[in-house]
Chain A
Amino acid sequence: MSSHSPEAVKKEVRVYIAVFGALAILTVLTVGVSYLKLPLALAIAVALFIAAVKGSLVAAFFMHLSTEKKIVWSILLLAAFFFIFLLLYPSWHSF
């Protein structure tokens, strides 16, 4: 990322501010939705969806994943595979 022209960096800074605005709005939204007292399954789906959008914004723009090299993506895909495995693992057993 260090070969960026000043113009390109300034443009990126504007994107960062826009992402910040989106993250703030989504935070207010997710808290607001929690006061609606939705049924648990729906509440989980909505909250996790908003969190996923927020997390994607952070990863794509602040962490520059949207323009990152393949090698970084391949490391993350491997981690994502094991992460999902870990999350699903409890549901394959009855305790």
Chain B
Amino acid sequence: MSDTAAIRYISHPHPVTGVTNSKLGVWCFLASEVMLFGGLFSAYIMLRTGVPDWPRGHEVLNVPLATLNTMILITSSVTMVMAWASLELKSLSKFRLHMALTVLLGLAFLVVKAFEYGHKFEHHHFPATSNFYATYFTLTGLHGLHVVGGIVVNTYFLLFGIKMWDKDPEQFTGRIEASGLYWHFVDLVWIFLFPVLYLL
């Protein structure tokens, strides 16, 4: 049974692929995520180009709040990559700090988003109101769910998963890198959602 870890290649790169199986798995997952959001972006293009009149984002949405959220998410991407770098530098306290900041910034993003949604609901703007709002709520809602997922995973690593550091620091660092890849992807999706929905 001592070969188990060697077969799984989760702490060390697989000799054939050059990456750990966990990293390869996350990239495959992210590729499928590209298709998930790609389908919705495609639907957005079809809906928008199919009608003569489509509201410009800045006329109906709150651009300053969305800009704030963009900054929050970009900052959280930096703290996330710093959490990983802290582990590379063998500093668990710095990892805790950066990971806690990442989780807090993720929560801040959701709070701002909740304000934005609340404002829309107050004015009776729902997904069923128009194709624009259907697209807006579907895309930002799915993205928001991804933020929630990232917060759950990162909180787990911060509070419980961190125990693995004593047993297998390489594997734990790999887990944080994998979780980071996902978090950066969520940031990347927002980088495109922001101009597409709010600025155009």
Contact = CB atoms under 8 A, between A and B. Distances in A.
Contacts of B34: 79-80, 83
Contact of B184 (A24, A63, A82, A86): A63
Contacts of A24: 71, 74
Interface residues of B, number: 53
A30 B70 CA distance: 11
Interface string B174-193: 10010011001101100110
A24 B75 CA distance: 9
Given A24-B71, A40-B200, A90-B42, A78 B88 contact: no
A43 to B, nearest CB: 6
Q: Which of A40, A62, A78, A83 has the most CB atoms of chain B within a 10 A radius of its CB?
A: A62
A69 B192 contact: no
27 contacts: A2-B88, A6-B88, A20-B74, A31-B63, A33-B199, A43-B199, A44-B200, A47-B196, A47-B200, A54-B191, A59-B184, A62-B77, A62-B81, A63-B185, A71-B18, A71-B24, A72-B27, A75-B28, A76-B27, A79-B32, A83-B35, A86-B39, A86-B42, A87-B45, A90-B42, A90-B46, A95-B50
B170 A2 contact: yes
**Range of interface residues on A (Cβ < 8 Å):** 35 or more
A82 B38 contact: yes
B41 interface: yes
Nearest to B56: A40
Nearest to A49: B195
B25 to A, nearest CB: 10
B130 interface: no
Given A48-B195, A86-B38, 16 more contacts: A10-B89, A16-B82, A27-B74, A30-B199, A34-B199, A44-B200, A47-B200, A50-B195, A58-B187, A58-B188, A62-B77, A64-B177, A71-B19, A86-B35, A89-B42, A90-B42
Contacts of A34: 58, 63, 195, 198-200
Contacts of A64: 177
B187 A51 contact: no
